[in-house]
Amino acid sequence: MATSSSSYEIEQLQKGCYYEWMGLQAKHIANLKEALMSQQSYENDHKLVGVIVNDFQKYAEKRRELSHRSCSSYFAPSWNSSLENGLLWMGGCRPSSFIRVIYALCGSQIETQISQYLHKIDGNEKVDGLMSELTATQLAKINELHIKVIEKEDKISKKSASMQEDVADMPIAVTAYAKDLVEAGVVVEDALDKHEEGMAVLMEEADKLRVETLRKIVEVVTPVQAAEFLLAGKRLHVSLHEWGRVREERRFGCARADAVAGGAGAGTSNKTTC
Amino acid sequence: MATSSSSYEIEQLQKGCYYEWMGLQAKHIANLKEALMSQQSYENDHKLVGVIVNDFQKYAEKRRELSHRSCSSYFAPSWNSSLENGLLWMGGCRPSSFIRVIYALCGSQIETQISQYLHKIDGNEKVDGLMSELTATQLAKINELHIKVIEKEDKISKKSASMQEDVADMPIAVTAYAKDLVEAGVVVEDALDKHEEGMAVLMEEADKLRVETLRKIVEVVTPVQAAEFLLAGKRLHVSLHEWGRVREERRFGCARADAVAGGAGAGTSNKTTC
């Protein structure tokens, strides 16, 4: 168990690790965009995709190391908006959502192509139809992967449910019942430490599933499709982080600023002044 | 959809509603303790248990009203510690954990009785053996309820998983992919509003299951057993809230105070000064 001072340092390290990752995501986005625009060689795309997947694995390894020293903060991080925290599964995104991104890209591109065909338009802003060119064999493999990933997610969710239930058992529930004092005591502190350690193990399993799912997807699709998928996934992550922050700021920032400026009359605050 | 200013007010109302509930829990704990100590009549216990279950239902109704206007904050509330937020299921405790509290009480009391029998001790601090007097029929009903509750929890968890996945689909994922701009735009804002509304409906379902489980438990056990169970559940909730807060304060409070007093040297902070 980490000491109080090092736990503070760990939370700072966790936050630092997250922002470092977000910085790297911005770099990845720029690289992927460039690769897709310039239509570079199969080998270059393949290399770039490999680097990005490996970077994700390295990020998961850093999280593992940091979560094993203090885990709870990963389940509702202070650096996320409520919207993002509400979307969290085991301290990150659902691996099955990677596959939903592929379906979304396929669908939107097919829709664009049909629309272009119907209107006989070949405009300049057409979306590259890479994902809509997925073969039946590729789609079957993606579907199969989707089912397997959901099964694995369910297994991890069940373990988490069981661990959450365990907190309502001995020794924690009985200690809480047996005394009026709010002091936890050594037995409860140990049990809570063990609970947090168990949750860290689950987060590690979930991170492994996230990396594994990503690896399997890029194996099924072509390097250029993989680049498109990774770009979509990363933009979704970065956008949700930003949108959540902006929504929260709009909800609370203005009202708080107004509350400071005009007392308790937050109800009359004006969005446009923010 | 609520406006920005009223959303701020709603978050304040949600927090107020929670603290009001915690205040009521303290009152309930005192009443339950008094009832168990004074060994009052069957009717009085029955009445007290009824009042407490109804208060829980009223709290759920208030949450429903407030969550339908702004829901995300309920999934990782600012008024909880990370420990508590890591234990959350659909914005509250798992209904199955109510049943685990019963098992914990049964187990601990049976252990105490065996220990007392073995050591022929009839000490002053013995735990009241009410839950250990559950009949085989009562236990069978509780077991049956446990299985049903877990099934219902799983159904709600699956709906939540599906809603989380939906965010990675159209229109959100495609909008994020299609443009570099971080502005969400009307279509995404509407989709995120709908997502939050859907999560509010799920939280309402979860709250209903929490209330329903509580009602079914108190129907199976005697009023005095119900009083004991409610006391244990409430003490567990209040204690976890307090223990989580204290753990977080110990981890961060000291280090932060030291960081202010002595610059970045948080690593040398001393627990005993807090």
Give me the pLDDT at residue B72, please.
Answer: 86
Average pLDDT, chain B: 83
CA distance B143 to chain A (A): 15
Residue B225: pLDDT band by 50, 70, 90 thresholds? very high
Q: Where are the domains of chain B?
A: 4-273
**Which pair of tokens denotes residue A185?**
């005591």
pLDDT tens, residue by residue, A177-216: 877 666 778 888 899 999 999 999 999 999 999 999 999 9
Nearest to B192 among A3, A173, A247 (CB): A247
Phi and psi dihedrals of B201, rounded to 5?
Answer: -65, -40
Which chain B residues are Cβ-neighbours of A86 within 8 angstroms? Answer: 71-72, 75-76, 196, 199
Instruction: Find the mean pLDDT for residues A55-71.
Output: 91
With 50 as the cut, is the pLDDT of residue B190 above it? yes
Contacts of A103 in chain B (CB under 8 A): 169
What is the tens place of the pLDDT at every residue in A168-179? 887 888 888 877
Q: What is the mean pLDDT of residues B172-191?
A: 81
Per-residue pLDDT at B114: 62
pTM, entire model: 0.83
Percentage of the residues of chain B whose pLDDT score is greater than 90: 56
Contact: A5, B96; criterion CB under 8 Å: no
How far apart, in Å, do the first and last CA atoms of chain A sit? 44
Give yes or no for B22 touching A (CB within 8 A). Answer: no
Is B53's pLDDT higher than 60?
Answer: yes
pLDDT of B253 > 80? The answer is: no
Minimum-distance CB partner of B236 among A107, A176, A189: A176
pLDDT for B85: 92
Give the integer Cα–Cα distance in Å for B97 and A173.
10
Which one of B73, B176, B232 has the shortest CB-CB distance to A235?
Answer: B176
pLDDT at A161: 94
Interchain CB contact of A107 with B (< 8 Å): yes
What average pLDDT does the segment A95-104 reach? 94
Tell me: pLDDT of A127 over 50: no
Among positive and negative, which fits the CA dihedral B149, A146, A89, A209?
positive
3-state secondary structure chain A: CCCHHHHHHHHHHHHHHHHHHHHHHHHHHHHHHHHHHHCCCHHHHHHHHHHHHHHHHHHHHHHHHHHCCCCHHHHCCCCCCHHHHHHCECCECCHHHHHHHHHHHHHHHHHHHHHHHHCCCCCCCCCCCCHHHCCHHHHHHHHHHHHHHHHHHHHHHHHHHHHHHHCCCCCHHHHHHHCCCCCCHHHHHHHHHHHHHHHHHHHHHHHHHHHHHHHHHHHHCCHHHHHHHHHHHHHHHHHHHHHHHHHHHHHHHHHHHHHHHHCCCHHHCCHHHC
Can you tell me whether residue B89 is helix, strand or coil?
strand
Q: Is a pLDDT exceeding 80 seen at residue A92? A: yes
Interface residue A126 vs chain B (CB under 8 A): no
Hey, is the C-beta of A178 within 8 angstroms of any chain B C-beta?
A: yes
A13 at interface of B, judged by CB pairs closer than 8 A: no
In tens, the pLDDT along B17-28 reads 999 999 999 999
Rounded to a whole number of angstroms, the distance from the CA of A170 to the nearest CA of chain B is 6
